[in-house]
Amino acid sequence: MAKRSEKGLVHIYTGSGKGKTTAALGLALRAAGSGLKVCIHQFMKNGLYGEARAIAKIKNIRLVQCGRGCLIKGKPKVMDLECAARGLAKARKDVKSGRYDLVVLDEANIALKLGLIEKEDIIDMIKHKRRKVELVLTGRYCPRSLLKYADLVTEMKKIKHPFDNGVSARRGIEF
């Protein structure tokens, strides 16, 4: 089992390019392989995506899906807001519990952009997380004002993407 870090850092993976969730899942896999306990909260997903199937086979990673499992276009529905509020409450509890070494808030930035959760709630979570918890936020549209609370910020930049040429999302690659 890996030794817990003395100080957990805050990571933000954002930008228009592919790879934000993939980077967070890679980190989660590395942490789990080192014996650390991981919890991943997916704010926009609900269902047996490829990563959910794989994570189910790893004993020290817990996956919590907080979304309705559909694309939100326009104004979010009341049910979207309720799902996000429940998800945020669970995430806050996991970040403060000390039970996990790494907590990932997947697509938290998208949830912020859509108004499903509030930036102040994320800042409060960062400020009050357990000292040893590594916290990762993913998703496009990270508010600039949130960046100052992170220790590591990576922006994925799209140079070229198959979607631009009409290639649909592919099972096992994009989802």
Cα 69 to Cα 73: distance, rounded to the nearest angstrom? 13
**What is the chain's percent helix, strand, coil content, to nearest 5?**
40, 15, 45
Give per-residue pLDDT as tens, 30-56.
999 999 999 999 999 898 888 999 999
Cα 26 to Cα 21: distance, rounded to the nearest angstrom? 8
| Helix axes 78-97 and 119-128, enclosed angle (nearest 10) | 10
Q: How far is CA 110 from CA 27, 125, 143, in A?
A: 20, 17, 10
Give me the mean pLDDT over the 127-134 stretch: 96
Third-level CATH fold of 10-134+149-157: Rossmann fold (3.40.50)
Query: What is the residue-averaged pLDDT of the chain?
Result: 93
pLDDT of amino acid 1:
56
pLDDT of amino acid 2:
57
Q: Domain segments of the chain: what residues?
A: 10-134+149-157
pLDDT of amino acid 4:
61
pLDDT of amino acid 107:
96
Name the DSSP letter for residue 56.
T
pLDDT of amino acid 28:
98
Q: How far is CA 125 from CA 4, 15, 27, 82, in A?
A: 20, 22, 20, 19
pLDDT above 90: residue 69? no
Q: How far is CA 105 from CA 13, 19, 38, 110, 162, in A?
A: 10, 15, 11, 11, 26
pLDDT > 70: percent of the chain: 97
pTM of the full structure: 0.93
pLDDT of amino acid 48:
86
